[in-house]
Structure 1
Amino acid sequence: SGLSAGTYSVTISDANGCQYLDTNVVITQPVSPLSIIGSSTDVSCKGGADGTAIANTTGGTAPYTYLWDPAAGGQTSQAATGLVTGTYNVTVTDSNGCNISNIVLVNEPALDLTHTTAVAHALCYGDMTATATVTPTGGVPAYTYLWDPATASQTTQTATGLGAGTYSVTIADSYGCTVEDTTLTISEPDSLNLDSLTLFSNDICIGESTQLYALYPGADSSFTIIWDNGLGAGLGPFTVSPTGTTTYTIAVGDACGNTIDKSTTVTVSQYPIISLDPNIATGCVPLTVDFENQTPNASDSLYTWSMGNGDTVTGGMPTYTFNSSGTYTITVVLTNTSNCTTTSSGQNEVVVNPLPTATCTADPAQTDIRTPVIYFSGGVDDLSYAWGFGDGDSSYAQNPAHTYPGVGSYDVTLNVVDSNNCQNSCDLTIIIDPYYDIVIPNAFTPNPNGPGTGAYDIEALDNDVFFGLTDYVEEYHMMIFNRWGELIFETFDILIGWDGYYRGKLSQQDVYAWKINVRYIDGKEIERLGDVTLIR
């Protein structure tokens, strides 16, 4: 063993000593040494796993066996397949057990296949003039293109004759790697829409100005926008001051020759007219005034009346009451349905005169029927006076005197009128009381001809009945007592007195005690005690 290639001699001896000599023993070797030349097929698309590594073997003694490293999955064929980019090691062994190792490099494209897009949108609504262009980068040129059926499946880098919509394209490089774009969107201008054209203006009052302008979404420099009435071009705003109601029209055209127009009217209204009497009203406090604008055809306007005292009222014909004296300048603001406003000017006045001062006093204000004369005073002002004394009588004197006919309470009224014919009044009450006293005689002479009924006549002179004389009685009680304190007479009727008889017999001449209690019609009560002499 351990011999190299060459020719050797060998002697063979057996057990008997016999020998054989061979001088042509030849040891051979492979024609060339075992070697590996690696080759590869690169990965088609960046990040893919379709690369191939091949061990091209020469020399040595066939057949050969192969073993790729774990990165290649330990494959045992001459060509390792399904590889990602990388460096792979392979060991080759020939039939003599000779082996050799080498590395094989599998590459991939340097860049991903990607692209950019450029779109030229449709110029007019409904046009088929748009284009879409894709520019690929990465991968391995050359590139092929396939657009979706909506483009008639065009195969060029730029798809033409497109309308509004969304398109897709697939790009493939020379290795068959592909990238797809499904969001290529083509837009187009909106069709001219009259509803989208909005005009703005305001109605005005004569002599005013207003701003006139339009809005149209999407209008750009390709649009033509023209107003009539000499306003010129553009959406505005324009300041206009028409002297009468005027209609303005705008025409809007796009780059494709389509045109729409729309109009707006600026209504010019007159200012309302106010006509008030300079001297609206004159009177006495409280003064109620009915206001009215004397201009016709203003009933549909909004009125605001300022009363000169901080108060305001509304309405075409308001009623207002002035509760304080003074001169009030009235201002009215009149706004018509066109919102044109006029404010009154000049001295439109309401004169409210104060009431005269009514002063009424009486002397006395309360007395009794014995002195029923009352003296009245109406003050010192230069006024017209009218007294009502409460008993049906009256007087036009400033300071009259009046005699009342009887007991009672009298409501007195004084009405005064000044030079402005303003009136005022005052009231007072006069009380005429009954005369609260009882007239009682101290002696009387009974009729000796027998007892009577006790009735008496206050005008009679015979003095044969003892009684108490008083007026305005509501309740009455009289009692007569003899010297022993015995009650010998009693009455509750003021019209019945004592006739001097007791139990049907004339009482003896003597002094008798009496007691009288009276309640008058006003509730006042008195009690009197005394004695009377019976004379026979």
Structure 2
Amino acid sequence: FRWYQEVYSGQGFDHWGLDIVQILCPTFPYIEWSTGDTIEGPIIVNPTQTTTYSVGIYDTVHDYQAIDSITINVIPYPEPDLGLDTVTCEGMIVSLSPSDNFDSYYWSTEETTSTINVTDNGTYYVTVSNTMSNITCSASDSINVFFVPNAYVELGDDVCVTHPILLDATQPDSGFTYLWSNGMTTPTIMANNYGNYWVSVTYDDYDICGDVDTINVKLIPTASLNLPIDTTICHNESLILSASQSNNNWYQFHWSNGINKPVLFIDYYPPGIYDFEVQVIGCDTTYGRTTVYVEDCSVITQIFIPNAFSPYNTDDINDYFHIYAENIDIDDFYFSIYNRWGQLLFHTTDPRFRWDGKYNGDYLPQGIYTYKLIYRNAENNYKELNGSIFILH
């Protein structure tokens, strides 16, 4: 407060009044923080990074102010991340790193670098730290690393076999899975058919560290031959020698006369002896051999007609008249006997006839008689023969 005297003045006078005490009550100082708070404090802050905070006190009466500040250094809280557990193949190198923006690293392997390389199964830990003003913040993370065996499949070279074979893709570790081209899921299968076979091998359900191989299996049974041992044919006949198999496309055929087909046709070979050999080549070779005898089977009509006989004396010698005929058409045979006057005494169409020398049941008298023979020969031609017969008593 303060004292003062109230004075009234006017023209020609001054008036001094009583002393007056005037009490002045200034306003409280005004407080403002950089956070926007207006309380005297304390205030609570939660900085996530290094931050400077200030406060000002302002006296509006006396135009007075006071300002102060403080800096709070915030150490970044480390958050290491080694990632998800890792499965990879043996022989690979796995690099582990939580990131490279920490002040220090300490691994379960006792290494202190930001990155380590591992080649063995295991659980790996890292502790990372950030330090400021002798204050250290630390955090840890871990990861499991699993190395699985590599598959190696060797089905072998393409093969040609006469019987089913075993295809083996077995791996030394039991964790592998198998898928064959025929849908089988076993380590081994039997190749029972002609064709390509493949197998895909992977480790468990990871579908990694796998291998694939393919093999072509020519499954061709040994050829079976059924050639005749010896065969005889006529020179004007044909013969088929067959080495055919159930599937001729699987085999090669080589005959001794240069023919390279399953079937050999022998047509109108000259008379002689012919040896034929055949090789049937699949996955192995089968040999066959046969001999073909080709004979001259020309058909010649031969006829012999006696010129006399003695039917009357009944001595059982030349008692009947008959002819000898070979290679004639028995359906086209006509034989007739006449006397000297041209009278027909005997007629037959049977080449095997036997005439007893009788006419109307009586023996004909001794004498000369004529005959006529009409026939068709082996060459399909009609022939006529005429001659005489002497009947003896």
TM over 0.5: no
Q: Which has the higher contact order (CA 8 A, sep 6+)?
A: 2
Q: From the CA coordinates, give the structure whose radius of gyration is larger.
A: 1
TM-score, with normalisation over the residues of structure 2?
Answer: 0.39
TM-score, with normalisation over the residues of structure 1?
Answer: 0.30
